[in-house]
Amino acid sequence: FIADQLDYLRKSRPTAVNLFEAAGRLENLVAASAARDGSSPPDVVADYLREAEAMLDRDLQDNRNIGKFGAEFILKARASPEGKVSVVTHCNTGSLATAGWGTALGIIRDLNKTGHLEHVYCTETRPYNQGGRLTAYELVYENIPATLITDSMASALLRTKSIAAIVVGADRVAANGDTANKIGTYQLAITAKFHGVEFIVAAPSTSIDLSLASGDQIPIEQRPGIEVVQIRGEKLSGSPGEVETVHIAAKGIDVWNPSFDVTPASLISAIATEKGIITKAAGSDSFDVASFLATH
């Protein structure tokens, strides 16, 4: 039963390699536990829960390390004379997506905690609005100075505001540093490059897939078109918390809805991991991720 459910979880997000890593680890543990002499179903469940709780603790610590390393990198590269920075983030990479601190949002939390955050701008992240629904909620809840923008406003923002960095998460990082992340990440990297803004990927080492030489080999999940032409939100009238779905596009229009895109390593300034910061060698357009992991 457990193996079947883990396989079901794998199929839910084919682009996210860390989900496969975690499911594989738990599946191996369950198999070993069940094969042990005298093992019973309650024993297998207890072993599973023990490992799952340990994974939760490790993930939280990894997130805090990513936040620390990423914040230090930004401050060293881009801090103003007052020691403060403004940043942009995309999708949701906070406590609602991780064990309770976050990857890219963990970097922002660390900047805010140490008094170095001037402001954060979060994209709404169409078509599913994870930025507007989830990231914005976390920022408001924690009283972090923040402003919501539509995805199409990012370039204008970088041209008119003093932005130190764009920080994003990662669903899968290839051996050369090419990174698959929520759709819209690629265009943010392009505008960051044009405007001379640091573009930082925040990723635990479990999101790195050394079996893939480049991002061309990363599978990209295709989502139902209905997510683009319909939107769900709280009703302005009626009972508090009551939601409804409305159609926002011409009926019958065709839809292309990839859930992720791949940002080339050449557009990425650094990859913040729990083990430290991965940077490119001078003059190189790609990262040597394998060498970094082998020495850290």
254 is catalytic: no
Looking at residue 218, what DSSP letter applies?
A: S
Nearest to 103 by CA among 32, 173, 50: 173
- Partners of 173 in the beta sheet? 179, 208
- Give the Cα separation of 169 and 58 in Å (integer): 18
Q: Check 171, 178, 209, 261 and give the catalytic one.
A: 171
- Partners of 231 in the beta sheet? 246
Mutual orientation of helices 17-35 and 41-78 as an angle, nearest 10°? 150
3-state secondary structure of 4: helix
- List CB contacts of 205: < 8 A, sequence separation 6 or more: 62, 273, 274, 275, 293
Question: What residue ranges in the chain does DSSP mark as E strands?
Answer: 85-89, 117-123, 146-149, 165-168, 172-174, 179-182, 198-202, 208-209, 230-234, 243-247, 260-263, 270-273, 276-278
Rg of the chain (C-alpha set) = 20
Active site residues: 171
